[in-house]
Amino acid sequence: MTIPFFPPDLFEDDRETLLDVVREVALDPEQRFILGHRTERFETAVRDSVGAVDAIACSSGTSALTLVLRAMGVGPGDEVVVPAYGCAPLAAAPALLGATPVFADVDPWTMVVDPVEVEKSVTERTKVVLPAHMFSVMADMPALRAITADVGARLLEDSAVAQGGVLGGRAAGTWGDAGVYSFVQVKTFGMPGEGGMVVTNDPELGRVVRMLRNHGQDGRTRFLHHRVGVNSRFDEVMAAFQLRRLPGLPARLERRARIGEYYTECFTDLPGVVPPPPGRDGRCFYVYSLLAERRDALREHLESRGVGSHVYYPAPLPHQAAFRTTGRDWPAAERACARQLAIPIHPHLTDAQVEHIADEVCLFART
C-alpha cells in the first residue's frame, strides 16, 4: 500500500466538469477570460456562504494578503504583528510594503499565534495584527479581536487553510476587518490553479481592494486609474469550476473531519506523539499535524511503510534569511519546527488507508 501525502488525482472526479467549463468560457460570445460574470457569481456565492458584506477574488492568497494590507494603508514606519511560525507570505506581505513584520510566538500545542505573545508585541507603531489559522486549528480570534480593539489596530485574518472552518458560530475569515482564502490545489477548497479571495464586512475596504487588484480601475470605466494597482485578477475558467464544486465542499470537509477525529482518538495518550486538540469548533482539517519527539524517525518509519508525510517549516520565520530578526527568542515556534509532522487527511483516502496510517503511527510510538 502506497499512500501519498497529497494525492495525484485530486481533480480526477471533476475531469468532465473542467473540460465543460473550458469549452463554456472559450465559446462564450462575451470572450471575457478574467473578471467576468462567472467571477462575480463566484464572489457572491462565497460572500453569502460565510455571511460577509463583500468578497473579492484575486490571483492568489498571497496577493490577497498584500492587497488588504495596502488597502489598510500599511507602509514604511508601520508594524504588522505576525506569527513566528508559519508560511512566508505572513512576513513577506508587510515587508514588501515597507512595513516591519513583528514576530509573536505561537501556542506550543496548537501552533497558532498566542494572543498573550501578540499583546506583548504590540507597540504604538502597530497598524495591523495578522494571525493565521494553522493546519487544523483556528487562531483564538475572540482574544485577538479584543486586543486589536483595545489598541486601535486593524485585524486581518489569514484563513488561507481554513475555508469552511467555524469558530463560535462565525465563519473563518469573518472575525477581523478582512480575511483571505487560498484556492491553491491542496487547500480545502483548492482548484487546479492559483487563486485567492478577500472577504470583508467593511464596504470601503472591499471597494479599495477591488480597485487595487485591477490596476486601480473601479470596474465601471476602463483605463481610468484611481490608484496605483496591480494585476491580481481572477480567471473565469476557475471561477466557473469552483462554482460547480462549491456545493460539494461540505461533504469533503465532513470527510476530512471524520478522518481527523479517528486519528485523534487513536493517537490520544500515545507516548512521544501529541495529536491536535479534539473537537470541531474552531477546526478546519486542512492538514493533520502531529507533534512527535522523534519526528524524523517517525517520518522514516512511515515512508518505509508506504505512507507519505510532510514537514512544513524547517525554521521559524524570524530565523529565515529573508526576515532574520535578533534580540529575542521564539521557543514554541522553534520547538514546533523540530516536532511537527503532517500525515494524510485528504477526502480521497479510503477507510482502509486511514486505518493503515493510524496503525503505523501507533506501532512506531509503542515500539
The DSSP line for 23-35 is: HHHHH-TT---BS
- The values of phi and psi at residue 3, to 5°, are -125, 105
Eight-state DSSP code of residue 109: T
**CA gap 25, 4 in Å, rounded:** 33
Closest CA to 4 of 359, 361, 261, 349: 349
Residue 294 CA: distances (Å) to CA of 135, 192, 290: 20, 35, 11
Burial code (b: 16+ CB inside 10 Å, e: under 16) for 67-84 equals: bbbbbbebeeebbbbbbb
- DSSP-derived 3-state class of residue 332: helix
The string over 187-223, giving b where at least 16 C-beta atoms fall within 10 Å of a residue's C-beta and e elsewhere, is: bbbbbebbbbbbbbbbeebbbbbbbbbbbebeeeeee
Q: Which of 38, 47, 145, 187 is catalytic?
A: 187
Distance CA 142, CA 165 (A): 15
C-alpha dist (Å) from residue 188 to 33, 142, 194, 199:
25, 23, 14, 17
And the C-alpha cell for 50? 460565510
Q: Which helix (H) or strand (E) holds 74?
A: none
Whether 187 is catalytic:
yes
Nearest to 255, CA basis, from 136, 190, 361, 348: 348
Strands 273-274 and 196-200: unpaired
Rounded-to-integer distance, Cα 283 and Cα 278, Å: 9
**CA angle at 24 for the pair 20 and 29, rounded to the nearest 5°:** 170
| Separation CA 265–CA 328 (nearest Å) | 37
Indicate which residues carry an active-site annotation.
187
